[in-house]
Amino acid sequence: MENIFSYGTLQQQNVQRAIFGRILSGHKDTLEGFDIKKLEIQDEFVVMASCSAVHPIIFFTGKEDDRVNGTLFKLTQSEFLKMDSYEVEDYTRIKIALKSGIESWVYVEENNLPSRSSCAT
């Protein structure tokens, strides 16, 4: 099992059921140096699963004061494949250290990635 940090629709139980067929359990954490904005989603499955055509997407700023709050979950490798299929092409998955010091995967804006020195190794 590996960590996934969610700041958006994966925190919704209806989305968890639609993607994984189960409810996830997790705990709160924070990602520093990122900010959040809205993204209009065109994918019909994603809109139906989340009940929304507008989703949050985070982008790297590098500013200490910018923080994104969310929930840290654990997923299996097969669940990560399902998650990768759920996320639209605007998102990319990177591994990064959270405020707690825990390394986690997170989906960020594809066109605004942090440098490798900002990411977990």
Residue 77, pLDDT above cutoff 70? yes
Cα 96–chain centre separation? 11
Residue with tokens 């998955």: 93
Q: List pLDDT tens digits, range 35-65.
A: 999 988 888 888 888 888 888 999 999 998 9
Q: Where are the alpha helices (DSSP H) in 1-121?
A: 13-20, 44-50, 77-86
Which class is 2-112 in CATH?
Answer: alpha beta
Domain boundaries defined on the chain: 2-112
What is the model's pTM? 0.85
* Helix then strand then coil, % of the chain, to nearest 5: 25, 40, 35
The Cα 44–Cα 36 span in angstroms is: 23
Provide the pLDDT for residue 62.
93
According to DSSP, the β-strands at 27-32 and 67-75 are antiparallel
